[in-house]
Amino acid sequence: MTTQEIIEQNKKSIILVDVQIPAEGNQKKVSIKGTGFIISSDGKFITNAHVYKAIAENEMEYAGVSVPGKTDENGATFYDRYKIRLLGEIDTENDTALMQIISEKNDFPIVKLSKESENLKEGEEVAYIGYPLAVELLNMGFGITMTTNKALVSSIKRRGIDGSFHFFLIDGHINNGSSGSPVFSLETGSVVGIASAKISAKIPIPGGVVADIPANMGICRPIKYATELIEKNK
């Protein structure tokens, strides 16, 4: 599939996880936690365990997701916001969480999960879609901004104990806000992984400041861990 086809088929299913706390003057204090993607028509979605854990206990009542809604004649997309809750227990080891959009809707668009992510190969082309640097873009006046990146699977990492598929590396940046983004195979168009963590170098610069320089590498978890969570919570 082309990257454009993957975007068009899935962009309504990729959601922004945030906390919006009421503030003075009818304003809200917004804190972006990451990305998620919808896997069932009743609003179940997958994100990272660390995205869920970034929501403080006293903030949970203000946590929610912004879901792409209607697109007007000029191409502008409007977002609908819903509250959320956790389903079951998070998988901290594999950085995966299954959550639920609180809504009576039963027609949320969904992504297709790969049943053959174990067959992912080094050199395979992938695309990941999410909301990197969402806070920065909001502060710059761009509003909610979904972006897409293409990359190669640069390395497959397996557990030394049993050889099972543990995680894979891609040759692309995973920025703040990208956590929880679905990683699509360009060959099949299905989700083969979840963007999980960035790799960067801490470089001291004059003035006592340490610059966080992103490497052209990102850590992704295979989608099998999400599938296992879904099966546990049926």
Catalytic residue set: 50, 95, 179
Task: Kindly give the residue spans of alpha helices, DSSP state H, lying in the chain.
Answer: 3-10, 49-53, 134-139, 224-232
Kindly report the backbone phi and psi dihedral angles of residue 196, in degrees, each rounded to the nearest multiple of 5, phi listed first. -120, -40
Kindly report the backbone phi and psi dihedral angles of residue 109, in degrees, each rounded to the nearest multiple of 5, phi listed first. -70, 145
- Alpha carbons 7 and 111: distance in angstroms, whole number: 11
Which residue's structure tokens are 């920065």?
A: 136
In the chain the first and final C-alpha atoms are separated, in Å, by: 31
Structure token pair of residue 176? 């703040």
Kindly report the backbone phi and psi dihedral angles of residue 141, in degrees, each rounded to the nearest multiple of 5, phi listed first. 90, 15
Residue type, 154: S
Q: Are 128 and 183 in contact (CB under 8 A)?
A: yes
- Alpha carbons 105 and 76: distance in angstroms, whole number: 23
